[in-house]
Structure 1
C-alpha cells in the first residue's frame, strides 16, 4: 500500500470513528415546570426540581438542623461542618469546600461581567446570578416559608430565612465564643479579632468588616446634617436615617411580624 493510500485509509478510519461516537449536541429543554416556568432537558430533572415547590425537605442535617429537599444538597452542606476546603484559588489562596465555589470565585479576579439585565442594565459574572436578579423585576416569589408564610424569589434566600425559626446558632467564634446563625456572619466577625481585611475609623479606631458600615459610622463624628426632609424641617446626618424618617410621612408600615399580623 502506498503512503497516499495509507493516508486515505487512515482518514476514512478516523471519520468512521467520529461517526461511531455518541451525538454530543445539547438536548433541548422540552420539560417545563408549571409552577415557575423553568425548563429542563429530562423528565427526571423536572421531577427533582418540583420537590422545591412541594416544600418537602426530607433530608436533615443532624449537626445544625437545616433541612434539604435532595440528599445531594445535604451531602454538599455537610462539607461546611467538616471544615475541609480542598479547592484553593491559585491567585489569592482562598479555599472552598466545593469546586463550584472556587469556579465562581475565580471570576472575581477576571473582572468580567458578561451577563447583563435587559431591564436595568446591571451586569453579572454568572448567568445564575443574572437569573436570580431578574426575579426582582418580575416580582415572582415561588418559595414560601411554611412557618410564617414569607415568600422569596430564590430557594437560597428561603433556606437562610428558615434558620431564624430554628433558633440554632451552630457557628461559633473560636476566640470569644460568640455564636452565629450563618457561616458568613461568623467569618465576618472573626475578621475583627484577626484585623484582616477590616476598615478602621481614623477618628476613634473602631473596626468594621464592610466599607459601607465605616462610611455610615463616619457621620457620627460630624455635626453636619446635609440630608433634609422635603416634607418637614428635620435634617439628618446620613441618607439611611432620612429614608427611615420619610416613611413616617408616607404612613407605610414596611416591617411585619413573622408570627402575627402586626
Structure 2
C-alpha cells in the first residue's frame, strides 16, 4: 500500500492520515494526553497508559532470574541482558559492545563530544534528549515523589525508586566479571570499566582520560581553578565534596585511623600510612 500521506515538515510518508496526524506531534510538540496525577503530557495514549504505572506501582513484566518488575516489556528485555551478558550493539569505531542501543549512542556521542541537546535555562549540553528532559526537572523545586520510609522527597519517580533500595538493601545489578552488585545500572556500567579498562571521557585540556563523566568534571577543575566546595570552619575551598569531607576531619576531634604500634590517631588514612614509616 502506497504511503500517500506525506509530512510537510520532514517528508516522511504514511499509509493512513491518522498515522500522519500522530507523527506531526513530533514537530508541533502537541501532547494531548495528560496524566491526571502529575500533569505530565504525552503524544500517545499508550505512552500515558504506561506512564501511569509509575503512580500505581504496577510492574507487570517480571524477570524470571532476579524477580525485578518492570513497567514495560522492552525494559524487561533490556534488563535480562544483565543476566545473559548479551551485548548486541557494537561501536564500529572502538569495537566496544553494549546491552542496548541507547548506551551505544551515548558512547558514540561521548567519543565525538557531541551534545546536541541544550538546556534553555542553564545552557548545559546533553548527548540524549531523555537526559535533557531529566535535567530540566532540576530547575524546579517541586519534589512530588515521597519515600514512605523516611519522608525524603524526589523530583523524579525513578530517583525515588533508586533511593528506596537504600531501605530494602536491594542491589539488582550484578557484575558478570566479579561478585560486586549495584543499586543502579549506571553504577554497574562505571564499575565494569575497571574490567574493560575503558576510559571514554577525555579531558580537552590534557591527555588524561576517565571512566566516568563525574571524574572528568572534577579533574577539569585542575585546569579551571574552580573550587566550589567551601569549608564552614575556615576559608579553605576544594575541588570535590570528598576532598572537603576529608579536610573537615581536621576540625573534628574524630581520628578514626589509629596506628597499631603506638596508638596515635589520625584524621586520614594517608596520614596514618605516612606515620607508620616512622616505625619501619
Give the TM interval when normalised to the shorter protein.
0.5 to 0.7
Kindly indicate whether structure 1 or structure 2 has the higher relative contact order, using CA contacts under 8 Å at least 6 residues apart.
1
Name structure 1 gaps, 5 residues minimum.
1-21, 245-262
CA shift, 1:63, in A, is 5.2
Q: How many residues align?
A: 215
Gaps spanning 5+ residues in structure 2: where? 1-43, 54-58, 257-261, 273-280
- Kindly tell me: are residues 182 and 207 of structure 1, through their superposed partners in 2, closer, same or farther at Cα, counting changes over 3 Å? same
1:179-194 pair list within 5 angstroms: 179-194=209-224
Q: Deviations over 1:20-65 (max 9, x none)?
A: xx975616754333333313455x5544442333222232335566
Question: Among 108, 113, 136, which residue is 1:83 paired with?
Answer: 113
Q: Return the TM-score normalized by structure 2.
A: 0.62
Select the structure of larger CA radius of gyration: 1
TM-score calculated relative to the size of structure 1? 0.65
Give 3-state SS (helix, strand or coil) of 1:26's partner: helix
Offset from partner CA, 1:127-184 (integer Å, 9 cap, x none): 1111112122222323221211222232221111110012233433232322322232
Q: Bigger shift: 156-165 or 171-180? A: 171-180
CA distance in 1, matches of 2:219, 2:77: 40
- Could you tell me how far apart the structure 1 residues matched to 2:193 and 2:84 are? 19
RMSD: 3.8
Q: Does 1:39 align with 2:70?
A: yes
Q: Is the 8 A contact 2:86 2:99 kept in 1?
A: yes
Structure 2 contact 110–200 (Cα < 8 Å) conserved = no
User: Partners of 2:244 and 2:79 in 1: how far apart?
Assistant: 42
Decide whether the 8 Å contact of 1:66 with 1:163 is kept in 2: no
CA contact (8 A) 1:228 1:234 kept: no
Whether 1:26 and 2:26 are equivalent positions in the alignment is no
For the 8 Å contact 2:201–2:210, the answer to whether it is kept is yes
